């Protein structure tokens, strides 16, 4: 597999590197969930192998990009991110995406394949239905504020202090709604399966993601796939963070040793 050359590791506005490591043998790009930010992965470097450099995708509408226009259509967004990654795919790289991030990294992969004839060496998909098996029954982006806050509380991914702060909520809810709209307006277009292996992660008590539709990600690749389930619900990556990161670190070590 041929990799594109890079002249710099300086992050652009789409990417943050919490612990730059130019000598790493693998670059891991992490895609955050709806309503989240790159900060969700900031502490991971301490628990993952030192041979792995983490690059965190930062979408508009959060952090230093708070004032930027939000995007509500996933396919154009995936093409923009694929372009932003161009200078960072000079070595073997992998993707991790949780919830919305899983869907987004899948489409970024397909964009890179179309434009650069290049795929990650591995994709780690977490807590989201396979793209061809998605459920469109519930529209979160248009929920009234009270109902949306109740749903966010059930998902257990937003800090309780944020949900209790009306002023902060009014600042963050437009971004959260835009992120949910990314999922709700997404349309899957069939293409040839990917070649890269997939690891599929999920929470055993996740009532938002059906096990069968999660496992259906295996149909998106001709390569090997494996599913690993963890204690917890949709945000098991936080509530079972220790066991999850231990497992994730072992999976990444196996990649780095090949």
Q: Which residue is catalytic, options 37, 45, 78, 99?
A: 99
Is residue 29 within a helix (H) or strand (E), and if so which, with residue range? Answer: strand 26-31
CA 80 – CA 215 distance, rounded (Å): 28
Is residue 96 within a helix (H) or strand (E), and if so which, with residue range? Answer: strand 93-98
Residue 129 has a CB neighbour count (10 Å cut-off) of 21
Residue 46 has a CB neighbour count (10 Å cut-off) of 10
How far, in whole angstroms, is CA 162 from its chain's centroid?
Answer: 22
Active site residue 99: yes
CA 139 – CA 175 distance, rounded (Å): 15
Backbone angles phi, psi at 126, to 5 degrees: -135, 130
Residues with catalytic annotation? Answer: 99
């Amino acid at each position: 597999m041929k990799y594109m050359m890079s002249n710099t590791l300086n992050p652009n506005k789409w990417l943050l590197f919490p612990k730059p490591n130019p000598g790493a043998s693998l670059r891991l790009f992490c895609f955050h969930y709806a309503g989240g930010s790159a900060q969700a992965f900031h502490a991971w470097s301490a628990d993952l192998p030192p041979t792995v450099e983490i690059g965190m995708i930062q979408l508009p509408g959060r952090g230093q990009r708070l004032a930027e226009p939000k995007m509500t259509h996933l396919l154009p967004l995936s093409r923009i991110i694929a372009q932003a990654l161009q200078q960072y795919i000079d070595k073997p790289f992998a993707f991790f995406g949780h919830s919305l991030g899983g869907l987004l990294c899948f489409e970024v992969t397909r964009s890179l394949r179309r434009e650069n004839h290049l795929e990650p060496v591995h994709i780690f998909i977490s807590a989201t239905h396979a793209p061809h098996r998605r459920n469109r029954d519930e529209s979160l982006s248009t929920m009234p504020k009270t109902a949306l806050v109740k749903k966010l509380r059930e998902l257990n991914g937003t800090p309780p202090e944020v949900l209790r702060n009306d002023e902060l909520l009014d600042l963050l809810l437009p971004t959260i709604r835009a992120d949910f709209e990314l999922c709700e307006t997404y349309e899957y277009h069939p293409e040839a399966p990917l070649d890269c292996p997939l690891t599929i992660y999920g929470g055993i008590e996740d009532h938002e993601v059906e096990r069968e539709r999660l496992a259906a990600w295996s149909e998106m690749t001709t390569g090997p796939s494996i599913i690993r389930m963890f204690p917890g619900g949709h945000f098991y990556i936080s509530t079972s963070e220790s066991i999850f990161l231990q497992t994730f670190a072992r999976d990444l070590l196996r990649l780095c040793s090949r």
